[in-house]
């Protein structure tokens, strides 16, 4: 269970991890975090929404590390080679951070909730767990997660055993499903050129730009 100190300081004890380490095959191999929406790299939308919610941000990237470094964040690669998926990025984050908590988000969700971290912390504290995952009302959103960094040893052993699937690792633990059914579109992401165009339209209609 989270300690009372953690409960009082969720922002100060939480590092944000932006997952940008995938191959993005459905996007033709383009590095998704650097794909532009209305002239702005996708990751910039994510960083601007996440930064006020956490103590610091690290970016997990296995390509274009120099370009990601220009956003002013520490950039880390997977600690294990082979593009092993989001769990490998989460492990790298847990091994690198100095805070008690890590919140993970993908680089291609520009509508990231501005209260994601506080809601995940509230759900985690209410359930007395070390792991909280967002639920959009229809399904779990597994890469939007808040993790106690002491889970790193278990995750490391899980990956060392050849496991890769995030839902299988979550099933090893009691975790809180946090309800975000009031804002399901906040988890819209970009995996195809068609989804990219659709999100550009949404951002234009809502006049959403980083820093606005």
Q: What pLDDT score was predicted for residue 142? A: 97
**Secondary structure (3-state) at 74:** strand
2: pLDDT confidence band, cut at 50, 70 and 90? very low
CB atoms within 10 A of CB 93: 25
The answer to whether domain 4-206 has CATH 3.90.550.10 is: yes
> pLDDT exceeding 90 applies to what percent of the chain?
74
Burial of 146-183, coded b for 16+ CB within 10 Å and e otherwise, reads bbbbebbeebbebbeeeeeebeebbeeeebbebebeeb
Global pTM value: 0.89
21: pLDDT confidence band, cut at 50, 70 and 90? confident
Q: What pLDDT score was predicted for residue 22? A: 63
The closest of 99, 30, 24 to 58, measured between CA atoms, is 99
Which residue would you say has higher pLDDT here, 3 or 72? 72
148: β partners: 101
6: pLDDT confidence band, cut at 50, 70 and 90? very low
Instruction: Report pLDDT digits (tens) over 62-102.
Output: 889 999 999 999 999 887 665 678 999 999 999 999 999 99
- 186 pLDDT higher than 90: yes
Give the residue extent of every domain in the chain.
4-206
Q: Tell me the C-alpha distance between 195 and 191, whole Å.
A: 7
């Amino acid at each position: 269970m989270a300690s009372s100190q953690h409960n009082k300081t969720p922002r100060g004890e939480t590092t944000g991890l932006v997952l940008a380490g995938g191959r993005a095959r459905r996007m033709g191999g383009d590095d998704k975090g650097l794909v532009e929406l209305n002239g702005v790299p996708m990751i910039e939308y994510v960083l601007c929404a996440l930064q006020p919610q956490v103590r610091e941000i690290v970016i997990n990237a296995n390509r274009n590390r120099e370009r990601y470094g220009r956003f002013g964040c520490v950039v880390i690669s997977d600690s294990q080679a082979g593009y092993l998926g989001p769990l490998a990025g989460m492990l790298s984050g847990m091994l690198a951070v100095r805070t008690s908590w890590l919140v993970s988000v993908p680089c291609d969700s520009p509508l990231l909730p501005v209260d994601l971290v506080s809601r995940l912390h509230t759900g985690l504290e209410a359930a007395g767990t070390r792991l909280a995952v967002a639920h959009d009302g229809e399904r779990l959103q597994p890469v939007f997660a808040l993790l106690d960094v002491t889970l790193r040893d278990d995750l490391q052993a899980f990956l060392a055993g050849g496991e890769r699937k995030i839902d299988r690792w979550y099933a090893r633990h009691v975790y809180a499903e946090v309800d975000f059914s009031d804002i399901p579109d906040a988890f819209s992401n970009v995996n195809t050129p068609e989804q990219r165009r659709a999100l550009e339209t949404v951002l234009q209609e809502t006049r959403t730009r980083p820093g606005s």
